[in-house]
Structure 1
Amino acid sequence: MDKLFFKSAKNQYAVSFSSVALVTILCLLVRDIIDYRIVGYLLLVVVSLLAIFLEIKPVLLGAVLSALALNFVFIKPYFTLHIDKPEDILLLFMYFIIALINAVLTNNFKRMQRAIHIKETRASTLKLYNTLLDSLSHELRTPIAAIVGSIDTLQQKNVNLTQETQQKLHSEIEKASMKLNYQVENLLNMSRLESGYIQPKLDWCDVKEIVYNVCNRLSEETKNHKIVINIDENLPLFKLDYGLMEQIIYNLVYNSSQHTPKGATVSIQVKYEVDADYDLHIDLIKKCVITISDDGYGFPPEEIDKAFDKFYRFKTSKTGGTGLGLSIVKGFTEAQNGTITLQNAEDGGAIFELTFVVDCLPVNSLPNE
């Protein structure tokens, strides 16, 4: 049943009463062919099930009603609250005690579970806040200091700055601003993922255009790297979320640029693949496959499984970084029903492969504009 239904106290009492009444009526139909002790076991099972879903008071009501029903309907003399045999008195007494203990213990167990869940949630939230504060103090302070310092130098009237120096300071402000924007975007994106707010807006996307736009944005970060792009000229349009795809590729290329040595090669490949049934001459599954690889150091084999964990930073990582980039990539990929894999290349470096099962639109099918 709906969890909201069980939140109402009135509904819980109704469920408790109707459950005991239903089992009592069903057992009454076969009262002559089953022993009343079996009926007691069945009613005890009902109370146990009620204890799992309901609060303590409705469960206690069910326990009392089931004990009364067992006595009134199934123990001779029928339809009286009178018992002749001492063993039946003991049975009824023990039944009632067991039902009460079961209800109380189950309720305490549920309260303990809720307390543990609240404690774990608070611990997770505290860890999130601590990590974010650590990120703010380390990752955001550096670009902010660079911006403030450069502006302060430019505003000094008693210092004559050459045109070259002014351009260098402006360039430092731009670089620091871009880095600051990147970190803030990652923090906001992680908040969106944590809250389940991500709702992809699927539309026809030119992935080739996204790749080149990202590479242009990262031209400063990748100026000491060799960027190799391998994309078919006739790559079809894919139905994806343009903004999410741009952020995915940006984070992966940026990650490669930050964790590979100068002169390393970062390769970006986009392919269109089709799983086809050649006997029937039909296309079964259409895929957009994006591979981003480098010839750097790769990932520590013993830690590679944690690469997409939130806030995880490898032991060999250089100082700085929030550990959010790859977890955001994974979240944005899965939000579009895609998959991402990571492996180390045999000759060194890392290979990220993203696969999206999507609708596609051949470029040559578009009207000329």
Structure 2
Amino acid sequence: MSLEDRRFVDAIADQVAVAIERLSLAEDVERARVAVETESLRSAMLSAISHDLKTPLASILGAATSLGSYNSYFEQQERDDLVATIREETERMSRFVANLLDITRVESGSLEVTWEATDIEEVIGAAVRRARPVLGSHRLNLRVADDLPMLNLDGVLLEQTIFNLLDNAGKYSPLQSTIAIDARRINDRIVIKVLDEGPGIPHQT
């Protein structure tokens, strides 16, 4: 190999080395960006979890304290209302913890899915019945098409998903506002929507 050829090869090698170094730096920057975003999401999630757990705990503690300290001063209806508050908030916490466990199972790949022919209208009806206590102060509008076919899916998981959306809508929508469920066939798909009048999730800039 001539001297000029060696110089040419060395120049190419130097350029390749620079390109590899730049690529490595770009990957490091991207990993750092993803790490920052992940940490930000983790912090936001922990904050949301803390808030969602504190709210029912505060209600349970307040009702239990009132019953324990001032039980003799309450009328029977007032005592029944406090007991109902404890029961409802306990059920709310139980649902929240169950959702967290489901998220953990999904992330670990251990969530078992049972595939079977499922009536979508029945699943929506079951989710609505479960959510009635949460939606008591809202107007519910059901728009379920008559021509929905049976689908091969996990009805329990679908019901839980719809219930979670209804529960979220009930918590964050204005009182007396309308919450709607719309289920219809669009071409070769079945589309299910839960619509509410809440503030929604703000767009990130």
Task: Give the TM-score category using the shorter length.
Answer: 0.7 to 0.9
> 1 CA distance for matches of 2:194 and 2:41?
29
Residue in structure 2 matching 1:290, options 185, 189, 192? 192
Task: Give CA-to-partner distance per residue, 1:30-75, whole Å, 9 cap, x none.
Answer: xxxxxxxxxxxxxxxxxxxxxxxxxxxxxxxxxxxxxxxxx3xxxx
Q: How far apart are residue 202 of structure 1 and its match?
A: 2.8
* Structure 1 counterpart of 2:61: 148
Is 1:256 equivalent to 2:169 in the alignment? Answer: yes
1:127 deviates by: 0.8
Cα distance in 2, alignment partners of residues 116 and 198 from structure 1: 34
Gaps of 5+ in 2: none
Q: Which SS does the other structure have where 1:215 is aligned?
A: helix
The answer as to 2:202 corresponding to 1:314 is yes
Q: Distance in 2 between matches of 1:159 and 1:170?
A: 11
Name 1:100's counterpart in structure 2.
Answer: 13
C-alpha distance in structure 2 between counterparts of 1:233 and 1:148, whole Å: 46
Does the Cα contact within 8 Å between 2:71 and 2:79 map onto a contact in 1? Answer: no
Is this contact kept in 1: 2:148–2:190, CA < 8 A?
A: no
Cα distance in 2 between the residues matched to 1:106 and 1:199: 46
Q: Is residue 240 of structure 1 aligned with residue 142 of structure 2? A: no
CA distance in 2, matches of 1:105, 1:195: 39
What TM-score does the superposition give when structure 2 sets the normalisation length? 0.76
Length-normalised TM-score, structure 1: 0.46
Does the Cα contact within 8 Å between 2:180 and 2:195 map onto a contact in 1? Answer: yes
Q: Show the counterpart of 1:125.
A: 38
Distance 1:123 1:139 in 2: 24
| Offset from partner CA, 1:189-244 (integer Å, 9 cap, x none) | 55566667777543211222221221122112211222233446775421122233
Contact 2:121 2:144 in 1 (8 A): yes
CA change 1:166–1:182 in 2 (3 A) is same
| Distance change (3 Å), C-alpha of 1:117 and 1:259 | same
Q: 1:292 to 1:141 in 2, by over 3 A?
A: closer
Cα pair distance change 1:108/1:191, threshold 3 Å: farther
Aligned AA (1:244) = L
* Unmatched tracts of structure 1, length 5 or more: 1-70, 72-87, 276-284, 300-306, 308-312, 316-369
Structure 2 counterpart of 1:229: 142
Residue type of the partner of 1:131?
A
Aligned length: 202
In the alignment, which of 20, 24, 27 is matched to residue 114 of structure 1?
Answer: 27
Matches within 5 A, 1:175-186: 175-186=88-99
Partner Cα distance (1:230, 1:260) in 2: 19
Structure 2 counterpart of 1:217, one-letter code: R
Does the 8 A contact of 1:238 with 1:288 survive in 2? no
1:206 & 1:168 partners in 2: Cα distance? 37
Deviations 1:293-351 (A, max 9, x none): 45x47x6xxxxxxx6xxxxx338xxxxxxxxxxxxxxxxxxxxxxxxxxxxxxxxxxxx
Q: Which residue of 1 aligns with 2:118?
A: 205
2:99, 2:39 → 1: CA distance? 19
> In 2, Cα distance between the equivalents of 1:132 and 1:293?
23
Residues 147-195 of structure 1 deviation map (CA, whole Å, 9 limit, x = unaligned): 2332344444x74254323321221122222333444455455556666
Rounded to whole Å, the distance in 1 between the matches of 2:68 and 2:154 is: 43
Which one scores higher on RCO, CA 8 angstroms, separation ≥ 6? 2
Give CA deviations for 1:237-289 in whole Å, capped at 9, x if unaligned: 2112223311332233234333443333333343456x5xxxxxxxxx4x433
Letter of the 1:137 counterpart: S
Aligned mates of 1:197, 1:214 — CA distance in 2: 24
Q: Which of the two has higher C-alpha Rg?
A: 1
Q: Distance in 2 between matches of 1:171 and 1:142?
A: 16
Question: Residue 266 of structure 1 corresponds to which residue in structure 2?
Answer: 179
Could you tell me which amino acid in structure 2 is paired with residue 110 of structure 1?
A: L
Give the superposition deviation at 1:123. Answer: 0.8
Partner letter of residue 202 of structure 2?
Answer: F
The DSSP-based 3-state class of the residue aligned with 2:44 is helix
